Structures are given as C-alpha cells and as structure tokens.
Amino acid sequence: MSAGPRRVLEAALLGALAAACTGGRAEPEADMAALEERGLEASVESRTLRDRERMVQEQIAPRGVADIRVLAALRAVPRHELVPESQREHAYEDRPLSIGHGQTISQPYIVAVMSEALELDANERVLEIGTGSGYQAAVLAQLAKEVYSVEIVEPLAERARADLARLGYANVEVRHGDGYLGWPEQAPFDAIIVTAAPDHVPQPLIDQLAVGGRLVIPVGRGVQELIRITRDEQGVHEERLLGVRFVPMTGVAEQ
C-alpha cells in the first residue's frame, strides 16, 4: 500500500474510533489529540517492555540469576517510573543511578541477586532496610505477600511511598525511620534485605528474623561483602555471597 492510501486509511480508522468514543459526536480535534496521547503512551510502554526484556536477557540471566519468579518480577517492574526523570533514559542500564540526597538505586543485577538470595515464596513477609527509590520494594512486592520498607531519608521515603502507591503496589508499606532498628511492631519477618552497608550485622535485624528466615545484607566499610544469614532452631548461620559496593548505612549504624 502506498503512503497516500495508508494515511487515508489510518485517518478513517482514527475517525471511526473517535466517533465510537464520543457516541458519534463530531469533536475531531479533541478526539484526535486524545487518541494521539494514548498512542504515545502505548508506544512508550511497548519500548520500556522491550528494554526490560533486553535487560533480563542480556544483563541478568546470563550472569547466573535463574529464579523464574525473580526474572519475571524484573520484567514486570517499570524501573523508569522509580528513578528521577533526568535518569530515565538510563533506567535499564546495568548500573546504579543517583536518586538524590547522596543515595543511589542499585544496578538491576544486584537487585536480582539479592532478591534471588532471599528465596521468597508468595506467602512470606519481607522487611526492607533502605527504600531508596522504591524499586527493590516493587520487585519484592511481586515475590512476597507483604513488604515493609524503612527509609532514613525522609524525602526519599515520601517520594517512594507516593510512587509505589501510584503504580499500584498495595502490598508495600513505607515508613521513615532508622533501619538499623528494623520494624519491631511488624516482626518477625520471613526475610530481611538491607540495601545500605553497615560495618557489622545489626543485632535488631537478627532478632526480628523468624525461624527459617533469611537476611541478606552488605557488610563492611570500603571493601564490602554480601552476606546471607539464615536462622533455624539451632541459631544463625552466615554465608558469604560476593563482593559488592553500597552506600554506607547511616544513623545508629555510624555510632
């Protein structure tokens, strides 16, 4: 089909759709504008879906992350909606991004590794320390029943709470506070994830871990290691996973 007839056909189809949307009333300029806006939104969504798929296929799965549910969560969560607008073009690159207030959002690979290390099922309750932009919480929301997230930087907590609500993550609760202390009112937790690095494992977090629970946390100053702690009837057991680099945990952890 040549360009001329194609444009005519497209115009006719758009006109028919506009008439259907308005009950046959002739409001062509408003209807065309609305259709163009919806078309633009669909185009952006289609592009970001492709970006997420590429991220999983090229950056995450080839590096050993194999949990099907984790990979599905990374495909589902719109990371570009949870970073500052100035960073959105880089949202699906495998690197950390600044989110303001001296904080960063972790690279997608590390989010995937930590999420997989938690070994979550759909009926579990998770505590996250360090909400940041809300991206990790959104991934956890796809994997667990309830997510409780604590952020020490109040403007970040407020922004993440609003963004997660806007995106429909009703099973995530965010509060401003010092994550070193955990969230004792909601303990115990089946899993705890920490996205800032103290120089030791906070005892309150171990205390709030349920029997059978898993705690994944970066530990160290300068050189850091990602550690998984599991709790059973006999006590706690520590496993070193890999070297990482996170922003330092602030608040009580600094004391």
- Please state, as a whole number, how many other Cβ atoms lie within 10 Å of the Cβ of residue 8: 12
For 18, 20, 38, the CA distances from 56, given in Å and listed in that order, are 38, 40, 27
Strand partners, 227: 217, 240
CA distance 17 to 6: 16
CA distance 6 to 61: 41
User: CA-based Rg of the chain, rounded to a whole angstrom?
Assistant: 22
- Catalytic option among 46, 106, 115, 133: 106
Is 106 among the catalytic positions? yes
Q: Going edge to edge, which strands form the sheet with 146-151?
A: 172-176, 146-151, 125-129, 189-194, 209-219, 224-232, 235-244
Angle CA(254)–CA(82)–CA(42) in degrees, nearest 5?
175
Q: Note the Cα 179 to chain centre separation in Å.
A: 18
Which residues are catalytically annotated? 106
